Each structure stands twice: as C-alpha cells, then as structure tokens.
Amino acid sequence: MTTLWQASQQLQSDKSGPEAFTEAALNAARDPHKEGECVYIKLYESQAIQQAHKAGIRWKAQHPLSPIDGLPVSIKDLFDVEGESTTAGSRLLSDVPVATANASVIERLNLAGAAIVGKTNMTEFAFSGLGINPHYGTPSNPWRRAEKRIPGGSSSGAAVAVADGMCLGAVGTDTGGSVRIPAALCGLTGYKPSANRISQAGTLPLSKSLDSIGVIAHDVRSCWLLDSVIAEQPLELKKYDLRDARFAVPLTRVLDGLDREVAQAWDYAIKGLRHAGATLVEISLSELDELSSMNARGGITAYEAWQWHQPTVLAQPDTYDPQVLVRVQRGSHLNEQDACELYQQREAWQKRINAALAGFDALLMPTVPCIAPTIASLNDPQRYMEINALMLRNPSVINMLDGCAISLPCHKKGHPPVGLSLASVHGDDARLISWSLAVETALNWRS
C-alpha cells in the first residue's frame, strides 16, 4: 500500500497527481466490503475532491502549498470544524451549537492543502483504549477481519482508515495511548509528541494535563511528514546509526503478563536491535510501580474529565456509553485537595523518571502487552475494564511523564500486529523520531 511519504515523493517527481490518491481513499471509504460506515462519522467527499483538484493544478505549476498538498488525510471527531457540531463520538453533542472557527490543527491542514476526507469515529469522549463505540458502531481491526477484533482506541477510526486505504495519514489525540494503541493493534505507526508541540486550540479535551495531538500513518517518515504540517516547528529528521544508540529497557511493570505473540515479537525486536549494534540496558525503573496508587481512584484523567462532563452527566447520564460513564463518574469522588496532591505527586515523579533516563537515547517497551481481542469478548463490563486497563498500562506512562513516544510495528509478516514503543522525555521529539527511523530500518518488519 502506498504510504503518505511515498505519495508525496511521487507528486514531487511528477509521477502522479493528488486526485488519484484522494479518489482512491474515497472509493475505499464507500466500499461496502470495508469498514467505512463505522470509520467515518462524517465524510467530506465533495470538499476533498475539490481540494485535490486545486492541488493538482498547483503541483503542475510547481507551486504546491506543502508536500502533502491534495493528499487524503482524516481528522478525529474531536476537532472543531467551522459550521459543524463537534460530537466526540457521542450522540450527546449532536445538537450543540456549531463551531464558529476551525481548530488550530484543522487550520494548519487547510493551509497545507490537505484533502481532509472526513471525521473519524472514536471511543466516546476519547475515554477508553479499546475503540468500542455503541453509538456509531465499532470499526473492526484489519487483522483477521472476519473475527471482528477491536481496533484499539480511542482513535479507532483513524487507525482503520489508514489501514484500509481510506486516507494516507490520520490526525488523532493521545491522552493515555489513544494514538499508539490503535496503531499497534492495526500494524501501523503512531506518534505522540510532547504535549506542547501541537496547539490544542479548538480540540475537545479529555484531560488537559495529559492530552496531546498525534498522528497515525504507515511508517515513520509519513508520521514525520504529517507532524511537520500540523506543528508550528517541524522536526529535523536525521540519519542515526544504531551502533551509537543506548536504549533503556525497564523491568518494572511494562513487561508483565505479555501475550505469547507479544512476547515473541518483543524478543524478535530486541534481538534485531542488538544485532544492529544498539546497546540495550535493563534498568529497574521501580518508579513505574507508583502509578497504580496514583491512579487508584481514577487519577488526573478522571478528575479533569469530571470537571468538563459534570453538567451533562448530572442532566443526561443515560445518553453516555455506560463504560465511559463509569470512568467519568470516578472523578466525582476527587476534590480540589486530591487533585493538588496528584499534580504534586506527578511533578515529583517526573523529575525522578527524567533523572533515571538521563544518558539514554530512548526507553523501549511493548506498546501494549496483548494482541487485539474480539469485540464480542468485551461485552462483559468486568472484562472490558480489565482489558482497557491492560491496554493503557504501558503507553499511559509517557503521558504521565509528558514525554514523546512512537509505536512501530515489530511483528513478523503474517503474525498478529504488535507494537514496539520508543519513548523519551519532554521536548526530545526530534531525536526520538530520528532514532525511530533507524529502528524501523533495522527491523525491516515488512520483509
């Protein structure tokens, strides 16, 4: 499948026009044999075609607005689009006043000439790592589709849209892994930047202290390309040599209870990196055990979500996905003093983690410890909560750290999709994405 990076390279070499890519994405979205009905909450067919046509003229004149001018991308249903209600995967917000302006990230995509194909489905209000949505349907994972496995969340539609060719890149959000989890489960690459890299103006929040805007695409270069459009300061992508790499492998928490398939892929990735000359150092990082107690009552996410949702929960609780409602209501038991203590604990925890990671180029771990379960297996509320907590366990570490992270496919061809996470401290995005490119090249997972 053509990647966003490859499509951009083809446009720059005059080998094709953007119209073909956007038409192919729309055809895939309309294909009754694919997941388009569940992937897109809103499809912008005419607008996307018009944008691609205008971009085609610009490319022929050699005056494109950006390297992705006219190429098809999708946006998560959390971003304001002028003249539309922002529904966040919920029926509750269908009749709220329309947005009076575009979200910052939408403005940047428009300035770049991107052909926005549509708004993608998601877990209601982004409050789950599974991607299940009872209101708009749940798009099924591309791997063994007949088995109807979860796509991962909360940016579920974003990942399936890329995997099924309904766009070449997707913009989503990540509060505890919501870009990286679906990328890992769907065999894609997902990048969560340091939170302040991408403006969140016009984005419906889940937890303002932990939210960040990220991207999903097929590979590192494509994620880098899309990120460079939506960020005010593009990252410089450099060529690194893995023989110079020093990676930390934490032994606390993140390697517990791995599925057999995840353990095999993890072992394959670690051996591949060592073979490429990388130095891998096992460290205890016992501070990770503290997260269980910090989040025991719902943590910062629940507290901040409750501040936003309280009026609607009290007025219309029956309109919520019951599994989301339970998580939101946990915040009602936390007061300002509880929150103050949580923020102080987080700050102190961040300082200790940053100190422990000093001298390392990145931290390595499996993105999630299990492969995608079936949607049907999560009908039981208790099972839902257990698997959700498991999915969020590893990636949420980096949101608490306010670091940057990327999930790369690390499974062998024909095996269940598994993600390898590279992460680093706040502001280390440029080095992280460059190291990720080196790791992707070394693992050569597509072979």
292 classed as catalytic: no
Cα atoms in the 13 Å half-sphere on the side-chain side of 249: 17
What's the distance, Cα to Cα, between the start and end of the chain in Å? 14
Q: What pLDDT is stored for residue 16 in this prediction?
A: 83
258 touches 265 (CB < 8 A): no
Quote the CA–CA distance of 15 and 10 in Å, as a whole number. Answer: 5
Q: Is 178 a catalytic residue?
A: yes
DSSP element (H, E) containing 282: strand 279-283
Which listed residue (104, 140, 178, 207) is catalytic?
178
* Number of Cβ atoms within 10 Å of the Cβ of 351: 10
Beta-bridge mates of residue 203? 79
Per-residue pLDDT, 320: 97
Stated pTM of the model:
0.98
- Distance, CA of 305 to chain centre: 19
If one counts every other C-beta atom within 10 angstroms of the C-beta of residue 382, the result is: 8
pLDDT tens, per residue, the chain with 447 residues: 799 999 999 999 987 899 999 999 999 999 998 999 999 999 999 999 999 999 999 999 999 999 999 999 999 999 999 999 999 999 999 889 999 999 999 999 999 999 999 999 999 999 999 999 999 999 999 999 999 999 999 999 999 999 999 999 999 999 999 999 999 999 999 999 999 999 999 999 999 999 999 999 999 999 999 999 999 999 999 999 999 999 999 999 999 999 999 999 999 999 999 999 999 999 999 999 999 999 999 999 999 999 999 999 999 999 999 999 999 999 999 999 999 999 999 999 999 999 999 999 999 999 999 999 999 999 999 999 999 999 999 999 999 999 999 999 999 999 999 999 999 999 999 999 999 999 999 997 443
pLDDT at 444: 78
Say if residues 121 and 130 touch (Cβ distance below 8 Å): no
Domain boundaries, the chain: 4-230
* 349 within 8 A of 287, measured Cβ to Cβ: yes
Residue type for 434, please?
S
Q: Which of 8, 74, 76, 128 is catalytic?
A: 76
Structure tokens at 198: 């991408």
Is 436 annotated as catalytic? no
DSSP states along 206-275 = S-TTT--EEEEESSHHHHHHHHHHHSSSPPPP----GGG-EEEEE-SSTTTT--HHHHHHHHHHHHHHHH
Number of residues that make up the chain = 447
Name the CATH superfamily, with its identifier, for domain 4-230: Amidase signature (AS) domain (3.90.1300.10)
Q: What single-letter amino acid sits at 373?
A: P
CA 151/CA 186 separation, integer angstroms: 6
Amino acid 446: pLDDT: 44
The C-alpha atoms of residue 321 and residue 123 are separated, in whole angstroms, by 9
Query: Whole-angstrom Cα distance, residue 126 to residue 205?
Result: 9
Q: Please check whether residue 203 is in contact with residue 173, taking contact to mean a CB–CB distance below 8 angstroms.
A: yes
* DSSP category for residue 371: P
Catalytic one among 74, 90, 154, 421? 154
Residues contacting residue 144 through CB under 8 Å, at least 6 positions apart: none
CA 87 vs CA 94, 204, 354, 435: distances in Å = 6, 9, 37, 37
| Edge-first strand listing for the sheet containing 169-173 | 40-43, 115-120, 72-76, 169-173, 213-217, 189-192, 404-409, 419-424, 362-366, 246-250, 279-283
